[in-house]
Each structure stands twice: as C-alpha cells, then as structure tokens.
Structure 1
Amino acid sequence: MFRRALLAAAAALPLALGLGLSSAPVPAHAASAEALDAAAAETLELLLETHPVTRDMLERAAGILIFPEIIKVGLVVGGAGGDGVLQVEGETVARYRSMAVSYGLQAGAASFGYVMLLMDERALDYVEATDGWEVGVGPNVTVADDGFAAKFSTTSEQSGVYVFFVGQSGYFAGAGIEGTKISRISD
C-alpha cells in the first residue's frame, strides 16, 4: 500500500510542479463555481465541528479564504494545490488557487483543507489587491493548532490572518502553508 502511494506521488510530481506558480491569474477549470461553493460550505461546517472557538472569529472576520481540498504529493520534491473561495459577509466574491512546492526528505500523498480568517480590512485588502499572495509576505499569519484553540481568547485576534486546518488524511505527517502562493482565478 505504501509503495502504491509512493508511486502515485512520483507520477503526480511533474504535474504538481507544472501547475504554475506564476503571479498571473489562472483560468477556473478545476472545479465548477457551484461545486466549489458547496465544498466551501461543508469545510466551514467541519471547521466549526473541530474548532468551535472559530464561531466568533468567523462572525468578526473581514473575509474568509476557504480551501476545501488541497492535494499534496512528494518524493524529495513535492507539490500541493487546490482551489478555494474568498467570502466576504457570507458571500463568495472571488475564487483563488493555492499552490506550493517543497524540497527535502519527504515522500507520500495527503489531502487536507484549510480556512484563512482575514481578521481586518488591511488583510482583506492585501489579498484582494495582490497579484499572487505568497504566504509569509504581507499580513501576519498565525497557524492555529489544537493548543492554540484551547487557550484562545476572542479578545486577542483583532488583526492579521489565522489559519485552521481541517480534514487531514494521507501519508504526510502534517500540513503546512509555508511557501504557499495564493492567486486569484480568472473567470
């Protein structure tokens, strides 16, 4: 079984690397708008089930980037990608693609989703105005784990971006957004 996962990762690697990390908008062909919106709604439900503390944060966020499914494959060199939506006041205002390339001792295949809570207008404006946002450049990003959620105070998250992972499965030990580039998808 593990050998199959490694072979699948090796076969998918050229595709992952060729998905394009350019800053130009990419065409929306991977998922229909309706399917992506439905998957985003399911991802928010899963977020609330696994991290109930996010309910208040969701209500106060200036915007929410929702990536229902990111596929990650790797064999020394890896790639990850998936499509998502930007919601403002509960409505989808744009579609985005998340792409990443990683290097190092790695092997396997995994999938996960993540939700980025843009807690202030500055973070939202940055995402909307940037032609290909490289995570780690721009607004301060905090990756929230179970420990963070347990001691979280609703008075502490006034600005920046908070990332919550949901639905992790596969052969990678964890999920990350380091080196991720998020680009708006053209219609």
Structure 2
Amino acid sequence: MALKGLAVIVLIQIVAGVPFGSAAFAQGPLRAPSSSEIDGRVTPALNELYSQNETAKALAAKAKAILVFPDIRKGAFIVGAQYGYGALRKGHYTVAYYRTSAASYGFQGGVKKFAYALFFMTDSAVDYLDKSGGWAIGTGPSVVVVDQGMARSLTTTSLRSDVYAFIFDQSGLMGGIGVEGSKITKIEPR
C-alpha cells in the first residue's frame, strides 16, 4: 500500500510539473495556489463553458451554487491520479475554495487536462458539501454528468437531481474522464 501511495505522489508531481527527487518530497504535498490564482482561472473557465453550452448557462441561473475546477491534471501509467483546485461560487462571488483528487489503477496510460463544474441545484446539496468535511462524488447528493446528448434534452423544468456536472476544456491523450470517486475537500488557500 505504501508503494502505491508513493507511486501516486510521484505521478501527481509529474502531471503537475513538479520536479522529481528528494527536494520535491521534502517540500511536502503540492502547494495550493492562492485564492486570486484560483479565482483568476475560474471566471474564464465558466465563461468558456457558457459560450459552448447553453444548458450550462441556463442551469447557472437556477443553481444555488457552482463549484468550478478549471484545471484538473490527470496522468496514468497503470496507477493514475488526478488533482486540481477550484472555487465555490454563489452568484458572482466566491464563498469557499476546494481541492479535488482521485486515484485509480488498472490498464490505463496517458496525460490529460480538463475542467469540470458542479451545479448545485438544492440548498441541501450545498449544505452537504459545506458540512461533510470532504465529499467523495458518488456518495451524498445525487450527481448527473451532463453529456452533449443530455444537454440537448435537459430543460430547467425537467431538473430532478441535486447536482449536475459538466466536463469541458479537455486536452491531452487518455481515454475516459470521470468525476465519480473524486474526493472534494475544502481548503484555505494562501
């Protein structure tokens, strides 16, 4: 288990561009960006999503809050990891900051960058995020990942789920991206 954990740390460092070696390990976990750095990435990411997806723009008007992770890095060679930082917005204001991470293993390989936004449609879903101390997607509020086909048929009057997820701004070479099993933890950025 310790070897698997070490492999994940090395993989996260490689994906994030952190130099590998004893100096990198001595620094401890990856440093969180500042709140202004996170906010500086969230706003353009949301604007890009809204320009590409009218359904996301319509959901934003009804959402109680939106959690945006604008820069997720995923890398894998047998063992995989993904990592990123984001902000929870209510209206146009950031109310909290979060980190997302996930690990996987199996037949996989490649590197990918992507973004995702979670649209919280109920107060109870926002409360769960706030009070859980760390949310693993797939537990707690129901999450529906909106693909292009669903986006065309979803209307704001047919909303039934607590949270809707949009994955966007994908680049790199790796099959399969998902948010299921991602651990979301509240942070206090520098």
Q: What TM-score does the superposition give when structure 2 sets the normalisation length?
A: 0.83
Partner of 1:4: none
In structure 2, the residue matched to 1:13 is 11
Aligned to 2:166, which of 161, 164, 183?
164
Q: Which residue number corresponds to residue 73 of structure 2?
A: 71
Whether the aligned pair in 2 keeps the contact of 1:28 and 1:185 (CA below 8 Å) is: no
* Alignment match of 2:155 (pick from 132, 153, 157): 153
Q: Counterpart of 2:155 in 1: which secondary structure?
A: coil
> Aligned residues: percent identity?
38
Q: 2:180 aligns with which of 178, 181, 187?
A: 178
Q: Which 5+ residue runs of structure 1 have no aligned equivalent?
A: 1-8, 17-26
From 60, 63, 81, the equivalent of 2:62 is 60
- Separation in structure 2 between the aligned mates of residue 11 and residue 85 of structure 1, nearest angstrom: 23
Q: Give per-residue Cα distances to partners, 1:99-152, cap 9 Å, x unaligned.
A: 000111000100000000000101100001111100000000000110111111
- CA deviation after TM superposition for structure 1 residue 158, in Å: 4.7
TM-score, normalised on structure 1? 0.84
Question: Is the deviation greater in 71-80 or in 151-160?
Answer: 151-160
8 Å contact from structure 2 (residues 8, 81) kept in 1: no
Aligned twin of 2:36: 34
Aligned residue pair count: 169
The one-letter code matched in structure 2 to 1:13 is: L
Structure 2 contact 143–161 (Cα < 8 Å) conserved: no
8 Å CA contact 2:38, 2:87 repeated in 1: yes
Deviates more, 1:71-80 or 1:173-182: 173-182
- Per-residue deviation, 1:29: 3.6
What is the 5 A alignment of 1:81-160?
A: 81-160=83-162
- 1:174, 1:121 → 2: CA distance? 31
Given that 1:75 and 1:106 are in contact with CA atoms closer than 8 Å, whether structure 2 keeps it comes out as yes
**Given the superposition, is the C-alpha separation of residues 89 and 77 from structure 1 closer, same or farther in structure 2, using an over 3 Å criterion?**
same
Is contact 2:12–2:82 with CA below 8 Å preserved after alignment? no
Output the CA distance in 2 between the equivalents of 1:11 and 1:142.
Answer: 29
